[in-house]
Amino acid sequence: MRINQSKKDKHQLSTVHYVQVDPEYSGQRIDNFLIRHLKTLPKSRIYRLLRKGEVRVNKKRIDASYRLIEGDRIRIPPLYLAEQAKKVPPAQSTIQKLAERILYEDDELLVINKPSGMSVHAGQSVRIGIIEALRHLYTKHPHLELAHRLDSETSGCLVIAKKRRVLREIHALLREGKVKKTYLALTKGAWKQKITRVDLPLRKIYREKGHTVLVQQDGKSALTEFHVLKQFNTAALLEVHLFTGRTHQIRVHAQAQGHPIAGDERYGDKNFNQVLNSLGLKRLFLHASQIEFELQTGGRHIKVSAPLEVDLTSVLNNLGTDLHEK
């Protein structure tokens, strides 16, 4: 087979290799493990490898939901991998910025107020994400990992685990719906009801230039509750509660109700976004304002709140709102 010269220049063909699962990765889904292990490979390609059985565990086909067990032997086929961008340490200003945004910390986890516009992890086009920067800050915690994710554009409470045991416990709580997540969002138009529950299944569609999420009956169950805090002439400030944690869940459920989130360039309304832009909105108006859960370890009750960002508060002031009005 002939290989395009430009592809040869930009990519390297790996050989078949095997990875043995260490104890700290026991319980992790195979798709998430591969996304982390094969950082330069598009997610769509990883899921295609799993569907076709090219990735095997202990010589057997597995699907994307398979959870790894200590000692599992993973076969990874030959792949053309984009050459890794030269690794550079994060800027000291980035590390300092994150250090100043720590909302809670103990020996096993920390919660930061994630800034908008910063990806939670590195990728093909992002050299440094929040987790990579924090690993430079916490050099004594080699297993520092994201307990969950937030979109790049979303700000607010982000939980990072320092130990794999706590990471597994938080993941179990997330699967069981025992992590309470609260968001603040500004959406288009007037809601008919004070409280609206949206129960629509979502399916993630992978494409060459990324992914999108659609409401589809064969998708994964997703439940969101929207509470109107303040209604304006053209927009509404909402408190949003997530009962499941699907990708882009709030954004797609809001759009499905005819009330897309302000500043949403993927699922939003262009004209509405232009109006809010004139009022000072330069980003997605979605903020993870609070997270709450119980850890069996030590019987701890974790409840952390992140103040609304100054730029978002300014937009609300321009709309003439009282944030606390209900």
Active site residues: 151
Q: How far is it, in rounded angstroms, from Cα 118 to Cα 185?
A: 18
The DSSP output letter for 261 is B
- 20: Cβ contacts below 8 Å, ≥ 6 apart: 71, 72, 73, 74
Q: Which residue in this structure is represented by tokens 């003439």?
A: 320
Yes or no: say if 253 and 222 are a contact pair by the CB < 8 Å rule: yes
Residue 87 gets the label, from left (phi > 0), alpha (psi -120 to 50) or beta, of: beta
One DSSP character per residue, 203-271 reads EEEEETTEEEEEE-TTSB--EEEEEEEEE-SSEEEEEEEESS--TTHHHHHHHHTT-PBTT-TTTS-HH
Yes or no: say if 109 and 166 are a contact pair by the CB < 8 Å rule: yes
One DSSP character per residue, 2-70 reads ---HHHHHHEEEPPPEEEEPPGGGTT-BHHHHHHHHSTTS-HHHHHHHHHHT-SEETTEE--TTPBP-T
Q: How far is it, in rounded angstroms, from Cα 172 to Cα 162?
A: 16
Yes or no: say if 205 and 212 are a contact pair by the CB < 8 Å rule: yes
The DSSP output letter for 309 is P
